[in-house]
Each structure stands twice: as structure tokens, then as C-alpha cells.
Structure 1
Amino acid sequence: MKLEKFTVGQIMSKCYILSENGKALIIDPGAEGEKIYNYLKENNLKLKYIINTHGHFDHIGANQFLKTKTDAKILAHPKANLKFEDPSLNLSTILKREEITSPALDRALKDGDSINFEGLNLEIITTPGHSEDGISIYLKEKAMLFSGDCIFANGIGRTDLVDSNFQDLKNSIEEKIFKLPAEVEFFAGHGPVSNLENFKTRVWPSFK
């Protein structure tokens, strides 16, 4: 498996491309769809899935472009659909003063669901708090977690938004993410890569 990381858009969102056997899936194509698509073309990759960790504009901004170009399946929490169709709910009209939308879900993801991608098993963990539709994606065999805006290398997702809730975020972190092995590396929606041991011992104590 190859992992490629892009930083996209004005808010410096992280976009992750996993590829294997000439196939690819993208986690959070938040902007700059043409740049992402050019990478796929240059590497002869067929895009199978677009997975959004939640429906905020800085994570879904290139959904429309990539869906049109590739007809990849869009996967996310069922509540993300509301944000896909409503620019005020995905915050694009509020924070970017632009109307960003996304095509509808092809598959809704719930807690415990699995996605098989070229022999890799991606486990879905619902992690609300920053956003009620938040999910994280766990690759057990690779000890990797894609955490969206739940946790960052040096902080946590903001909880002052319309559908944010700090207690929900705390529960997601302590009751779900901390059940994973401490050595798991996590790839957040913004910022650098870290691991759960570092987050639990150095970052989380200042927030809980």
C-alpha cells in the first residue's frame, strides 16, 4: 500500500490517497480537485472511493470535481448528506463566503462498518464531537488511523460550531480512540502525523 499526502485549500486541510494494485481511495479531498486528479492520472490510478471524515467544506470541497471525473463512490456518515447539500451547514458560506456542495452519498457508513480495499480492511469508528457526522478510519494491519478533525498532533477539533459538543468529543476520544493501541499513528485532518501515545500523554491532559 502506498500513502500520498496533500495539503489543500486555504485552511490547509489534509487529503490522503491510499493506492494498491492500480486502484485508489481518497480520504477528505477538501479542495484543489484538479491537483488531486492529476496525481491519479500521472500514477495510472483508478479512483474507487472518496471517503469523507465529516461534511465540512474543507473536507468535501473536491468531491464534485472528482466524482464527475471518475464516478468514484462517495462514502461518509449518513448525517454528512445534510452538509453536502447545504452550504450553510458545511460552513462554506460562513467561513469561506462561497457555496460549496457535494454529490450525495453512495454509501452511508456506521460504527463498525468495514470497507475492503484491495485486501486492506478499513474499519469505521464514529467519532462525533467536532461534528455530529464525524468518523475515523482505522487500518489495524498498518497501525494507522485517519482521525479527521477529532484529534490533531497538537490539539483537538473545535467544539464551538452548530453541531459540535465537547462531551461527545471527549467520549469519542476516551471511549473509542484510546481503546486502540498506543503505537497507532494517526493522520489528522490538519497538521502533522503523530501517534496515540504522544497524544494521550502530552496533548489530551490539557483538554480533559
Structure 2
Amino acid sequence: MAAVIPAVTRLSSRIIRILGCNPGPMTLQGTNTYLLGTGKNRILLDTGDKDIKDYQEHLTSVISSEKINIEHIVVTHWHHDHIGGVEDLYGTIAKSPKIWKHRRDPTDMPDSQLPNTIPLNWLTDGQELSVEGATVKVHHTPGHTTDHVVLTLQEENILFSGDCILGEGTAVFEDLYSYMKSLQRILDLKPAVIYPGHGNVVQDPIEKIEYYIEHRNKREKQILDTLEKNIDKQLNEMDLVKIIYTETPEHLWPAAAYNVNHHLTKLTKENKVKCVAVDGESRWQFVASKSNL
């Protein structure tokens, strides 16, 4: 069982973690948000869900006790459990912060449901934001979403991983190809520790990142092997989940099926499997490699 995450934790002289108080199957104990810096002005990384009173009270208490101001709010990606709290904080708990987020792909849904009265500033890859005691560098890491970023704290070689890497379990993603490239980019950063968007601090970051890469490669092989063993059948995502994800709790099967779908999309592009329609439903079948003889 994962160690309980307190509502407020001082992780170092320049980092305070405030739990989003929005637990759930996909958010684990809740969304981790982080206050960064040592001076009066601080950076807040992510804001949790909208209308979470407990979170607002905890954040207000920290701001009051530390006698600080939120100068920047950086959102790692558009998902509601990271950007949702912006509307609650802007102009009240955070008086006049700059809100920062990376742009999404033009073909995606609108960036957010934030009111037009809350201006968004666009992050760029390699950009740095600084307050007293904390300088963070932005690294665009698409895959979980097209706008996802991770940030490195230059003073402590810490990586804030958002939803790219979690404190427990593995992450979901929109595009497997991009996600694998992003994992490799994070590995190349060689962080000393990872502070994730959900779950506890990752003290063995290199091992964790390598596990994520190996896990996805293993899942791909399992999917291919399962389809090859059932070469005369057409299977859908949930069929594959029930065969492969034997150690995964049933309530997480839909998320697993979502990931399997992205593996199948990648494998289809590589002509290793084919998609067939059966009674109006997409199913997949193994494609035997052609002999060179």
C-alpha cells in the first residue's frame, strides 16, 4: 500500500507540496501541486480540480503562514485535475499571477474551459521561469497529451513529471510514439529525484524511467504474442486486457484498454496487425510476416 500523502508537505527549503484533495482511480491520492521558491514571490505548479474547498483552504493557509504571493502558475497540461483549480485561485487566493501552459496541437479540442477573463501565456520548450530560490526549465514532453510539459528545478536537479511519470503504477497516454520519445528525453535529463503529478516522490528516477520504457515494450510484445497465438481470431481491446492484464484490478481495465488501443494503433501503422470491422466494431488480427523465399 502506498504511503499516505499529507495535505501539506515541506519537501525542501524551496519546495512545498499541497495535495489537491481529489482522490480517485486515475488521480490516486489526488493531484500533487507544488509551491516553488524561497522569497516572497513563488511559482505554483498545477492547481488540482475545480471547486475543491479543502485544497483551497490548505493553499490559503500556506500562503498566509509563509507570507508569500503566487507570481506564476504553471500548468503541466490541460486535464481538469491540473488546470481546473486555476479559475478558483485567479484573482483571489492568487491575486494577479501569470498563468502558463504549453499550446496544444491545433487539431485538438480547445485548450481549456477557462473564462476569457483569465489570460493564458504560452510556454515554449527550453523556456525558464525564475523566482527567488527557484529556476525551472520547461521541457515539452507530448504523449500523455500534446501540450504536456515536465519541468526541472535547476537548483536541485529535480524533475516535476506531471502525468508523464507517476509515483505509483504507470501512466495513460494519447500517442504512444510521442510518449516513448518523451520518456527517453526525460531519461536523458538524468534527474536526481522525481516529484510526480500523482503519487509519492520517486527516489530512484533512472530505474523508474527505464521501467516505464521497458514496461511499454513488454506490453507491445504481449499484445503481439497474444494476437499471434489467436491468429484465427479478431480481438478487441478489452479481450486483450482480460488476457494480458491479469494482475490489474478490474476497475482499471478501461484505462488499460485505452492504452492497448494506442499500442494497436502503432502496430497497425507498422503493418504488424490489421484492424477489421466486426458487426460495426473495430477488432484486431495478427499479420503474419511475408517470407523472403
Letter in 1 for 2:96: D
Equivalence for 1:103: 118
Q: Which moved more, 1:138-147 or 1:29-38?
A: 29-38
TM-score by length of structure 1 reads: 0.81
Cα 1:40/1:153, change in 2 over 3 Å: same
Equivalence for 2:52: none
SS of the aligned residue for 2:125 comes to: coil
- 5 Å-filtered alignment, 1:21-170, equals 21-31=39-49, 32-69=55-92, 70-79=95-104, 82-85=110-113, 103-105=118-120, 107-118=121-132, 120-159=134-173, 164-170=174-180
TM superposition shift of 1:134: 0.1
SS of the aligned residue for 1:151 comes to: coil
Equivalence for 1:193: 201
Letter in 2 for 1:190: H
The CA distance in 2 between the partners of 1:199 and 1:35, in whole Å, is: 30
Equivalence for 1:172: 182
TM-score by length of structure 2 reads: 0.59
Paired residues of 2:183 and 2:213 also in contact (CA < 8 A): no
TM superposition shift of 1:192: 1.0
The CA distance in 2 between the partners of 1:171 and 1:156, in whole Å, is: 16
The CA distance in 1 between the partners of 2:135 and 2:128, in whole Å, is: 6
The structure whose residues are more often strand, as a share, is 1
Letter in 2 for 1:7: L
TM superposition shift of 1:102: 9.0
Letter in 1 for 2:98: K
For structure 1, list consecutive stretches of 5 or more residues without a partner in the other structure: 87-99
SS of the aligned residue for 2:67 comes to: coil
TM superposition shift of 1:39: 1.6
Number of equivalenced pairs: 188
The CA distance in 2 between the partners of 1:84 and 1:102, in whole Å, is: 13
Give CA-to-partner distance per residue, 1:146-189, whole Å, 9 cap, x none.
Answer: 01001123343212xxxx11111111011x101112x5211111
Paired residues of 2:18 and 2:58 also in contact (CA < 8 A): no
Letter in 1 for 2:178: D
Q: Which runs of 4+ in 1 moved over 4 A?
A: none
Paired residues of 1:123 and 1:137 also in contact (CA < 8 A): yes
Q: Identity percentage over the alignment?
A: 24
SS of the aligned residue for 1:146 comes to: strand
Cα 1:144/1:203, change in 2 over 3 Å: same
Give CA-to-partner distance per residue, 1:63-84, whole Å, 9 cap, x none.
Answer: 1121121111101102299332
The CA distance in 1 between the partners of 2:145 and 2:117, in whole Å, is: 17
Cα 1:17/1:119, change in 2 over 3 Å: closer
The CA distance in 1 between the partners of 2:134 and 2:212, in whole Å, is: 30
Which structure: larger Rg? 2
**Which structure has more RCO (C-alpha within 8 Å, separation ≥ 6)?**
1
Matched, 1:19 2:46: no
For structure 2, list consecutive stretches of 5 or more residues without a partner in the other structure: 1-12, 50-54, 218-293
